[in-house]
Every structure is written in structure tokens, then in C-alpha cells.
Structure 1
Amino acid sequence: MVKPVQRRKLADWLVREKKLSQRKAARIAGISRRMLSYQSKKDPQDQLKNQILAIVEQHPYWGFWKVYHYLRKKRNINQKVNHKRVWRLYCQLQLNLPRKRSKRLPERIQQPLTQLKKRNQIWTLDFMSDALTDGRSFRTLNIDLIRVQHRLDEYNRECLAIEVDFSLPALRIIRVLERIIEAYGKPEKLRCDNGPEFISTKLNEWCEAQKIEL
């Protein structure tokens, strides 16, 4: 059995190659003249979506209005296509969602390595993360004292505290430090990375009040 698509192709061939009229070609192929004259049309919505995606891919940091005006000026879209229609398609493509931007960390002046000469000169603070068997993640705050050995160029670490919890904000870090200071005395300097807990205003203010370099 000949499929309608094949009949349509036969009729097209008769018109194109044999120069028959559409009426006669349709009768020979066994299809209606309307089916032969029908031209499939692409969805204009899909065409517009593809144009929007092409612009966003080329200019990833453009907002909606830049994309819209570029469509009107450069892509020659129909003038009847207003911004509301473009915005609706823009939202369907989820291009209106806010893009995540990485936080800019404050610049720290690079300092030469400190030569340790006495106890409690430098404490180091760092976090580690892991997960329980049920999938919940937890963190550990490790506070170490860097100790000088018999030679001035040899050092090791003495663990002063390990704090474990699901959340360890800046205020919790301060409480842990205060507890350790009561037992070991006050350090001259805290060495840590640029984690959000360590660059918080509260921890900076506490260190200034304690005259501890951070």
C-alpha cells in the first residue's frame, strides 16, 4: 500500500519533471489537489525562540531589553511582534531566572612567612566536611597551634580543638576561640582562608577587640 507521503512526492515529481498541472498530477497520484497545494509551515513561535536563543548564546550577559531591541533591529522580525510576546517566550525559555554570580572575596595582602619564635604566636583555623549515612552533611572546625621545634625552621601542629556540628557560623567560632583562650592563652595571629565565616564582620570586630591579627 502506497503511503500518502509517497503519493505526495509522486505528484510533486510529476509537476516538477513532467510539467503536468497540479490537477492532473493529483489525479494520477491518487491524492486531492488541496493536499498537493498545501505547504507545511513552521511554527513562527519556534522560529522566534530559536532567534532569542541564538542571541543569548552570542551575548550571554545581555538582559531582556537588549535582546528584544536586537531582535527588532538586526533580525528583521515582524514589527507586529511586541515586547510582551517576546517576554513570554523569554520566560518560557527560563532566561529570566537570575544568574548566580560568584561572590567577590576581599583581597588580602600577601605577607611573607612568619618565623615562629614563641608559643601561641599563630593558630590555624580550617573547616572539613563530611556526610552521615542518612545523607546529612556536617562540618568540623579544626583549630591548631603551630609549635616551633628545637630548630627554628622546624614546626609541627598541636590540635587545640575540633568543633563538630551541622552549622558553624561566625558567632560559634568566636565562642570556641574564647573557650580555648581560657585554657591556652591568647594567640598573636589567626591564620585561615577566605571562607564566609572567617571574613565576617563579627569575627573581624572580635579580633580587633582582642588585639589578635586576622
Structure 2
Amino acid sequence: MMSKRAKPEEIIAKLREVEVRLSRGETAGQAAGAIGVTEQPYYRWRKEYGGLQVDQAKRMKDIEIENRRLRKAVSDLTLDNQILKEVLSGKLLSPSRKREAVDHVVETLGVSERRACHVVRQHRATQRRVPTPRADEAALTDAIVALAERFGRYGYRRVTALLRAGGWRVSAGRVYRIWRREGLKVPMRQPKRGRLWLNDGSCVRLRPAHKGHVWSYYFVQHRTHDGKVFRMLCVIDEYTRECLAIRVERKLRSSDVLDVLGELFVGHGPPEHIRSDNGPEFIATVLRDWLQRIGVKTLYIEPGSPWENSYCESFNSKLRDELLAREIFYDLRESKALIEAWRHHYNTRRPHSSLNYLPPAPKAILPAAFMPPYYVEAAA
């Protein structure tokens, strides 16, 4: 019997021999038996190779090999595309993300780990390495989540500063990795806005140079749960960013502004300058004469130019974003208590990005190397 794996040129030679025997008068079965096969393989060979020359059979064999190679290449590309579709839900930059992607592809598509690692561009040694978390990973994660829940508008850098203040020796990169892994959302930044500056230079303002150089005060308005309006008078030191006072009342007049400033001047000393807008409470003649007698110079911004009082505007935005927009005030007494507690936290604990993530007026005395310039000046 002829081998089942006969070469095409051998098959063509056998078919030529059968043709000769048939021309002599032999039957198809006799001719097929003479070449060592039955009639079924003979008819199959004649259908596939009948009328071909040996060189044509060789070329057809090469074409079949090339077709098999192309089919395998197309199959591989299709499989690679399926793998990429499974892992294109996000950027695969870190080894941990690639490890998760490879495991997902192997489980979903049933491909080999080698193939998945090749498509995702993950080294197999990295894929098989079992990550060993640090001993304090769980405790640090709980601390980060707790701070994120308490201070919902803080980003990971400010949370890092709070962790360091609480005794953690941790880098911002590690906090960011846990932050992203836990799905904590970083607060969105406000878009930059262009300003129409005046040609006469009226937007050039006096910048604070030291503690007590320039104070700012401004009114903020909000409502209690019953819909009634209450106002807040905020006073800050522009150089230290410390909030000196927040007076909360249903109505505030120029006399109330004078009372607040009088208490602050006694406790902190009068500043050299005080900045405000052109509200009626601030431009009142009684208040301006009183400040002039004490020796405090008034700085009024241009009408309709709130960006000239940027320090106070920045503070008011933080007050509204971190407290007013997140709390329900049922009455005025609760409003006073919550706002004063937030002011105390803002001064003593809240990290400020412009102060190297230190609070404006912390309770503890820090070494001079870690203190903002105004602390060093005050200590000297």
C-alpha cells in the first residue's frame, strides 16, 4: 500500500501510470491496485492533480504553504486585535495595570499567558512576580481614605501634607498611587480666564511684603436652611494667609466693620494698609476717618475688578468650596459655630500650597528650616 503522505510529484507519476494501464484496456480498479491504492484515493487524486505537470504541482504546494502562513498571520492579527480591544479601557503604563490586563485577557479569551504578555508588552518575569505590599499599606490606605472623606475637596498633595503632619513618613508618589488605586477623584481645577486690563495701570496693586503689611476684608453671603440670608465679614492677612476673623450676622453695617477691626487691632496691632472693594460698608466716612486717625492706609480696588483683591477672593472661594457648599446651616447659631471651627482648622491645620503645604498659623513651633519666611521674621 502506498503511503498516505505521498508527495504531489509521486501522485502525478502514479496517475500517469494509471492512464497508461487504462489505455491498454485495464479497468480502473486493476490500474489503481497496480499503483497500491484503492479506487477512492485514485479518484480523489485525479480530481485534485489530474492534468497537472510536476512543476505545477510543486508550485501549488508552495502556494498552499504560503496560504497557510498567511492564514496563520491573519489569525494572529485578529487575536491580537481582540486582546487589544479587551485592554483598551485605559492606559497601560504601570506593571500592575499590565498584570491585571494580562490576567483579564487570559481568563476572557483563553489565550496563553505568553501571547497576552507579548501583545501587552509585559515581561513574563514581571507578570509572574507576586507583588509584596508593605506592612503599613492597609493602615496608610485607611488614613488616606479617611482624610479624603473628611476633606472632600483636598487633592493628594494636600492629603500628603496632612499625613506628614500626623506622623507618616510617606512620599507624594506613594500617596498618589494609593489615591488612584482607591478611585479617589482629584478636584477639578478652575479654567484660566483672560482679563481686560486697563491701559492706565490701575490694576498694579501693592503686594504684601511682611506680616501686618496688608490686610484684606470682604463680605460673603449665604443662606440658612430656612432660606434666610446671613452675611460674613472675612478679614485676612495677605502675607501670612491667616484668617484673622469671620464675623457672622444677619446684617452687617459699617459700625460692625469698625467693631471687628477694633478688636483685631487690639489683638494683632493695626496693619499698614487694608484693602477692600468699594462697598458702602467700606467707604463709609466714619470708618475711613477712624482708619486715618489710627494711621492705617486704605486701598480700594477698581470698581468691577474683583481680581485686584485676589487674596481675599481666593480665601472666599475656599470657604465656599470646602464649607458653605458642603454643610446645611439650620440656624444662625449653628452657622457661627461651624464657620469658626472651619476658620480655626484653616489657620492651624489646613496645608496651604503657597506656604510649602504648611498651615498659615500652626500651633506647634517648627524648625526654622521648615518655616515660611514670616515665621522666621516673627521669631527674630
- Decide: shared fold, TM above 0.5: no
Provide the TM-score with structure 1 as the length reference: 0.43
Structure of higher CA gyration radius: 2
Q: Which has the higher strand share?
A: 1
Provide the TM-score with structure 2 as the length reference: 0.25
